[in-house]
Structure 1
Amino acid sequence: MIEAVLFDFNGVLVDDEPQHCWALQRVLADEGITLTREQYYAHYLGLDDRTGFVEAYRRAQRTLTTEVLKHLVEKKSKLYLELVSTSLRMVAGAPEFVRDAGRQFRLAIVSGALRREIDAVLSRTGLAGDFETIVAANDVPRSKPDPAAYLAAHDALNQRRPIALDRCVVIEDSLHGLEAARSAGMPCVMLTTSHPSQTLQGRGAALVWESLDGHRANEFAGL
């Protein structure tokens, strides 16, 4: 029986993957590295910024120092926050679904975004107080598809009140996130906000939804 819902953030609660893509493209372009939209959605979606920049430099056969990496992450975050300050949009049905789920389950956010980015968005949506715990990129040493972030969220929930791994359901939009959830031993519901449904079929998702709109948390009863 499901007891907790663990939400990814970008592409699940907030419809901001295009802003993340553009900000990453802009920062990499300033470094002489080209990133197409197709490459972003195929290889970078679901990665935290640190891992994304490391991967971009690896593919470009460029050396990336720790100091430069820190600068790039800060630069992208600033661009992203500027973008969402004027173009913030929630995933269809997200606020209603969060409030419905909160009446039945414990809630958490597990994201590759920086904590300040999550806090900035939540403060504008009225959802900041709905989540028992938040795990951001700053909180774990490894990005999805590693299960570290989902295991950290489970640990935080479990310390407050015991809960089994398989009683936490994940909602994701990226293939890296799906892999992380499954590696953590948690069922995963996939949204088609970033990948078409045919891409998600046969990959082990418990359910595939177009968005959160029209869905209720009691649909997790059979998981």
Structure 2
Amino acid sequence: MLDAVLLDWEGVLADTGAARRDALLRALADEGVSSTVAAYDACCAGLDVRSAAAAAVRAAGCDDAPFAEIVALRAARAFTERVAEGFSLTPGAMDFVTGAAHRTRVAIVTQAGRAETELALRSAGLEEAVATVLTVDDVTDPPPAPALVQRAVTHLARLRPARANRVVVMTHTAPALRAARSAGVRTLAVGAPAHVAAEADGAVDELCGLTLDTVVALTGGVPASTGR
């Protein structure tokens, strides 16, 4: 069996894409920068909030790092407020996480911030099923650098083995998939477009009906050398 499953709650356990986009567009507008949904999709989709803010500010013709940080802080605050109002888990998310947690360790590894992630897990009632939480706030290099995944694997290995070839990252963005592959773990794309899913070891459209055994099969099976 797998040593761990690492999940990004955004886009996998909850569909937050529109809320994340609207929060950044609102932050830009509050700072006097005009942008559009099309511009966001072209340069910001799939990025963490700081990288997305920097990309949006550059696209608007203003390469100003301190200003981009202000926009990022505004966007993060607006997004957290939206999460606090309530959100729905994707179909099958609760069953998959609770079922997987009975057989292996489930960790949240996300490009979202810690405050919004912990709020989301509390609101969804998933805190008890999650062994650990690693967010973009815990590293200096966001995806596609592998630091976030590497840190999660190292943290889990402090208690018992977490071997890279027996760890699967489940996410839906190209930067996160590339980061996971760079860290040497297996990958499963969830609800990702075909061109993104092609970068993963396996892919599914949704979590509904998904089991840990299916995750193993889709990502290459249990390594034969383990004898298990």
Tell me, yes or no, whether TM beats 0.5.
yes
Is contact 2:108-2:132 (8 Å) kept?
A: yes
What is the alpha-carbon distance in structure 2 between the residues aligned to residue 154 and residue 123 of structure 1?
23
RCO higher in structure (CA 8 A, sep ≥6): 1
Amino acid at match of 2:87: L
What does the per-residue CA deviation read over 1:40-98, in whole Å, with 9 as the maximum and x for residues that have no partner? Answer: 344323322111112222233313243x3443233112211222233411122111100
Hey, what does 1:116 align to over in structure 2? 115
Does the aligned pair in 1 maintain the 2:43–2:56 contact within 8 Å?
no
Does the 8 A contact of 2:44 with 2:53 survive in 1? no
Change (3 A) 1:201 1:115: closer
Distance in 2 between the 1:43 and 1:186 partners?
Answer: 27
Question: Which residue matches 1:56?
Answer: 56
CA shift digits 1:152-177 (9 cap, x unpaired): 11111112222211211010111111
Q: TM-score when scaled to structure 1? A: 0.89
* 1:85 and 2:84 aligned: yes
**Structure 1 match to 2:201:** 206
Residue 217 of structure 1 and its aligned partner are, at CA, apart by 1.1
Where structure 1 has 5 or more consecutive residues not aligned to the other structure, the ranges are: none
CA RMSD of aligned residues (A): 1.8
* Number of aligned positions between the proteins: 218
How many Å separate the matches in 1 of 2:114 and 2:176? 18
Matches within 5 A, 1:176-191: 176-191=175-190
Q: 1:94 to 1:42 in 2, by over 3 A?
A: farther
Any idea what the Cα deviations from partners look like across 1:136-165, whole Å, max 9, x if unmatched? 111000111111111111111112222211
Q: Give the match's secondary structure for 2:85.
A: helix
Q: CA deviation at 1:34?
A: 3.8
Distance in 2 separating the partners of 1:149 and 1:42: 24
Identity of aligned residues (%): 31
When the two structures are superposed, what TM-score results if normalisation uses the length of structure 2?
A: 0.87
Provide the C-alpha distance between the structure 2 equivalents of 1:8 and 1:31, rounded to a whole number of angstroms. Answer: 29
CA contact (8 A) 1:200 1:208 kept: no
Distance 1:185 1:83, change over 3 A: same
